[in-house]
A and B are shown apart, each in its own frame.
Chain A
Amino acid sequence: MLQQLRENKSLQGALLILPTMVFMVGLLIIPLALTLVASFGQRSPDGGVIFTFSLDNYIRLLGFQPGCLQPSCFDSLYLQILWRSLTLAFQTTVLVILLAYPLSYFIARAPRKRRTTFLFLVLVPLWTNFVIRVYAWMMILRTQGVLNGFLGWLAGLLGIPFAPLEMLYTPGAVLVGMVYEFLPFMILPIYTSLEKIDPSLYEAAADLGANSFRTFLRVTLPLSLPGMVAGTILVFIPVMGMFVVSDLLGGRQVILVGNLIQRQFLDARDPTFGSAASLILMVMTLLVTYFYTRKFGFGEEIVAA
């Protein structure tokens, strides 16, 4: 028996991937298949699934009523939610890049000994639970919160009349929360790619007549592109499905696909519609990622580093 195992390479391989296979099939493939099946089913009165083959859920997602595909029945609510999620993920990614790049650049060019400290500081927030950090943002942004308190104090000092700003439960609040949550996931890969650039390349560029700005455009930026690509994948995909941030900071005002799915399963008790929304989200994310990576790659150099 053991002898046989020693000689049979493919059996060894099969045994090695077995645990992962069990895990993936049990926790990914089967649930995914169930979701797919459920999305074509119908909601039973007690919130279960009646297995049929109906496109009703998808028709509703596109904004029509089952059995009525006339423009008069059209309601863009769900399409708006999908669009909002897409644009928010896009905005978040762009903002995160804009914030992360200068910081990563700064860290990468700091003396070697300091870099560890700075990276450590970047990672410190991740020690606190993610939901708790979002609650902290609620404290800051509330009408009676820290930020309004500070602004009021400042206005009082300057003698300007001040009415507290409504900041919580706005799209802006959700954006701030997302950017905050995902910043480290962009800083790390960009830092890695910047740090790998051989300093003699900067000298070579200067030697050939490039000032700092042109060196940045022609050398630094292109060589750090893999980091930005890897960071974008790490940020864009989770933001697309995120619901905690929008739930806590957006309230009823900012509903994303994530919230829609969560509410279908938990509040509306319509798992079939929730499944359809999940699949649409997945397909949308896959499509964006597919076209993005076809153009820029996965930032392999960074992932491999």
Chain B
Amino acid sequence: MSELAVELRDVVKTFQTPEGTPVNAVDRVNLQIQNGEFFSMLGSSGCGKTTSLRMIAGFEWPTSGEVFIAGQPQGHKPPFQRPVNTVFQNYALFQHMTVFDNVAFGLQMAKRPGDEIIRRVGEALEMVKLGSMEKRYPRQLSGGQQQRVALARALVNRPQVLLLDEPLGALDQKLRKEMQVELKLLQKEVGITFIFVTHDQEEALSMSDRIAVMSLGKVLQIGSPVEIYERPNCRFVADFIGETNFLEGQVRAVDGEKVIVFVPALEAEIAGVGYQSFHNGQQVSLSVRPEKIHLAEQPPDGQKSFPVRVTQVSYIGSDTRVLVQAGKTTLKVAEQNKISTLDPDAYFQNGEQAFASLTPENTLVLPVDEVP
């Protein structure tokens, strides 16, 4: 048996648009998704997440390239012959059928015997905590309950892969958080590969084993949540995942992973780490996360720092967000409130002078993206 649950090889999907110019909704995408993995596809609206998922499900066929499920090329196989099931964003429940019949649908199509259907539907509804509602119609359920029916209806078939297209998009914030936890637990329990589409980075970070960050039909980076956040491979990913400060500059010296960059806005040379190859004179961006900038009232000893002026302070409970003017640029800094105090002097004030220091390990050197 193949290790890979799903593989996309050089998949391109071109749509003919009414405006006349064809668009590549998915552009040479390569993905390798392991068995049992919780894999997320993350990207802003229109980046091709849904289209990729629909090609795995069989609702669309690639213009070129190939989709493999469990090692088998799928070609133009229709959806009903693929060992995957989908949870649709709008749930797509059958309004004219009871919860039981909705969940039983897939098993009936597979011509399972009646007693097995009753048993498995019961188990599936139990699993999503809807055991008592099998006689209801979808319109008699809340949004969250409908969501669970959609989940049960897909999972009851024990697919090799479950595809979820923004399944929590229609739920309110609180329910969404609850379902995130439940979905993750459920995935562990059933051990089925989940491919989860979302445009909510927090959701992706908290749930996934690995994430593919997409933009304009292309996969920019694939990695674990930590890798994606701590080691983004390009400006777009650094910007899209979490918050960051960019400093534009020019490479002055390269020593292995250590890169010295001259930043005109600060009129200073800053040391950072680069995990790609750089050469002298190259235009680069430095990315520093707000929580990784150190702000102090006195210049710290033995560390390079530069003077800044505090321009805005907002206290948000766990953190204090501070905007500082540094040279010709503004930096976002997040100060964790580790000590409980009411003393205003313990917090930075507007207009205050301070010193910011960056450590080279926390300063990521990234190539300037070719595409804007």
A: which residues have CB within 8 A of B?
A: 198, 200-201, 203-211, 214, 218-219, 222-223
Please give me the residue from chain B that is nearest to A209 by CB atom: B109
The reply to whether A200 and B90 contact each other, CB–CB distance below 8 Å, is yes
Please give me the residue from chain B that is nearest to A197 by CB atom: B95
**Residues of B with C-beta under 8 A to A207:** 57, 59, 79-80, 84-86, 154
Chain A binding surface, main DSSP class = helix
Nearest first, the 9 closest Cβ-Cβ pairs linking A and B are A209-B109, A208-B106, A204-B92, A200-B92, A206-B79, A209-B80, A207-B86, A222-B96, A210-B109
Distance (whole angstroms) from the CB of A295 to the closest CB of chain B: 16
Q: Given the complex of chains A and B, what is the CA–CA distance between A218 and B80 in angstroms?
A: 15
Task: With A209-B80, A209-B109 as known contacts, state yes or no: A203 contacts B88, CB within 8 Å.
Answer: yes
The reply to whether B95 and A208 contact each other, CB–CB distance below 8 Å, is no
Distance (whole angstroms) from the CB of A243 to the closest CB of chain B: 39
B100: Cβ under 8 A from any A Cβ? no
Please give me the residue from chain A that is nearest to B59 by CB atom: A203
The reply to whether A204 and B80 contact each other, CB–CB distance below 8 Å, is no
The reply to whether A201 and B79 contact each other, CB–CB distance below 8 Å, is no
The reply to whether B105 and A218 contact each other, CB–CB distance below 8 Å, is yes
Kindly count the residue-residue contacts between A and B in the assembled complex, taking CB atoms under 8 Å apart. Answer: 58
Please give me the residue from chain B that is nearest to A208 by CB atom: B106
Partner among A198, A203, A214 whose Cβ is within 8 Å of the Cβ of B109: A214
The reply to whether A198 and B92 contact each other, CB–CB distance below 8 Å, is yes
Please give me the residue from chain B that is nearest to A225 by CB atom: B96
The reply to whether B78 and A206 contact each other, CB–CB distance below 8 Å, is yes
Distance (whole angstroms) from the CB of B74 to the closest CB of chain A: 14
Q: Which of B128-177 contact A (CB under 8 A)?
A: 153-154, 157
Q: Given the complex of chains A and B, what is the CA–CA distance between A94 and B96 in angstroms?
A: 24
The reply to whether A198 and B57 contact each other, CB–CB distance below 8 Å, is no
The reply to whether A208 and B109 contact each other, CB–CB distance below 8 Å, is yes
The 0/1 profile, CB within 8 Å of A marked 1, for residues 94-126 of chain B is 111000000001100110000000000000000
Q: Given the complex of chains A and B, what is the CA–CA distance between A250 and B324 in angstroms?
A: 94
Q: Given the complex of chains A and B, what is the CA–CA distance between A198 and B96 in angstroms?
A: 13
Q: Given the complex of chains A and B, what is the CA–CA distance between A214 and B85 in angstroms?
A: 17
The CB with the most chain A CB atoms within 10 A, among B58, B92, B153, B157, is that of: B92
Task: With A209-B106, A218-B105 as known contacts, state yes or no: A204 contacts B94, CB within 8 Å.
Answer: yes
Task: With A201-B94, A205-B105, A222-B96 as known contacts, state yes or no: A210 contacts B88, CB within 8 Å.
Answer: no
Task: With A203-B88, A209-B80 as known contacts, state yes or no: A223 contacts B95, CB within 8 Å.
Answer: yes
13 contacts between A and B (CB under 8 A): A200-B92, A201-B94, A203-B79, A203-B88, A204-B92, A205-B105, A206-B59, A207-B84, A208-B80, A208-B154, A209-B110, A210-B109, A214-B109
Distance (whole angstroms) from the CB of A290 to the closest CB of chain B: 24
Q: Given the complex of chains A and B, what is the CA–CA distance between A79 and B69 in angstroms?
A: 68
Please give me the residue from chain B that is nearest to A203 by CB atom: B59
The reply to whether A219 and B79 contact each other, CB–CB distance below 8 Å, is no
Partner among B59, B85, B90, B96 whose Cβ is within 8 Å of the Cβ of A208: B85
**Residues of B with C-beta under 8 A to A208:** 80, 85, 105-106, 109, 153-154, 157
Partner among A201, A206, A222 whose Cβ is within 8 Å of the Cβ of B80: A206
Partner among A203, A209, A219 whose Cβ is within 8 Å of the Cβ of B157: A209
Distance (whole angstroms) from the CB of A237 to the closest CB of chain B: 26
Partner among B92, B154, B157 whose Cβ is within 8 Å of the Cβ of A201: B92
Q: Given the complex of chains A and B, what is the CA–CA distance between A204 and B87 in angstroms?
A: 8
Distance (whole angstroms) from the CB of B195 to the closest CB of chain A: 14
Q: A204-B86, A218-B94 are in contact. List 6 more A-B contacts (CB 8 A).
A: A198-B90, A200-B88, A200-B92, A203-B57, A207-B84, A209-B157
**Residues of A with C-beta under 8 A to B90:** 198, 200
Distance (whole angstroms) from the CB of A119 to the closest CB of chain B: 22
**Residues of A with C-beta under 8 A to B109:** 208-210, 214
Q: Given the complex of chains A and B, what is the CA–CA distance between A206 and B93 in angstroms?
A: 13
**Residues of B with C-beta under 8 A to A219:** 94
The reply to whether B88 and A204 contact each other, CB–CB distance below 8 Å, is yes
Q: Given the complex of chains A and B, what is the CA–CA distance between A208 and B92 in angstroms?
A: 12
Distance (whole angstroms) from the CB of A264 to the closest CB of chain B: 47
Q: Given the complex of chains A and B, what is the CA–CA distance between A205 and B95 in angstroms?
A: 13
Please give me the residue from chain A that is nearest to B93 by CB atom: A204
The CB with the most chain B CB atoms within 10 A, among A206, A222, A223, is that of: A206
Please give me the residue from chain A that is nearest to B96 by CB atom: A222
**Residues of A with C-beta under 8 A to B110:** 209
Distance (whole angstroms) from the CB of B162 to the closest CB of chain A: 11
Distance (whole angstroms) from the CB of A225 to the closest CB of chain B: 8
Distance (whole angstroms) from the CB of B76 to the closest CB of chain A: 14
The 0/1 profile, CB within 8 Å of A marked 1, for residues 42-59 of chain B is 000000000000000111
**Residues of A with C-beta under 8 A to B86:** 203-204, 207
The reply to whether A210 and B80 contact each other, CB–CB distance below 8 Å, is yes
Distance (whole angstroms) from the CB of B199 to the closest CB of chain A: 19
Task: With A208-B85, A211-B80, A214-B109 as known contacts, state yes or no: A203 contacts B153, CB within 8 Å.
Answer: no
Q: Given the complex of chains A and B, what is the CA–CA distance between A302 and B318 in angstroms?
A: 55
The CB with the most chain B CB atoms within 10 A, among A205, A208, A214, A223, is that of: A208
Distance (whole angstroms) from the CB of A116 to the closest CB of chain B: 17
Q: Given the complex of chains A and B, what is the CA–CA distance between A60 and B3 in angstroms?
A: 86
Q: Given the complex of chains A and B, what is the CA–CA distance between A207 and B154 in angstroms?
A: 9
Distance (whole angstroms) from the CB of A204 to the closest CB of chain B: 4
**Residues of B with C-beta under 8 A to A222:** 96
**Residues of A with C-beta under 8 A to B93:** 204
Q: Given the complex of chains A and B, what is the CA–CA distance between A214 and B79 in angstroms?
A: 14
The CB with the most chain A CB atoms within 10 A, among B58, B78, B96, B153, is that of: B96
**Residues of A with C-beta under 8 A to B78:** 206, 211
Q: Given the complex of chains A and B, what is the CA–CA distance between A57 and B106 in angstroms?
A: 61
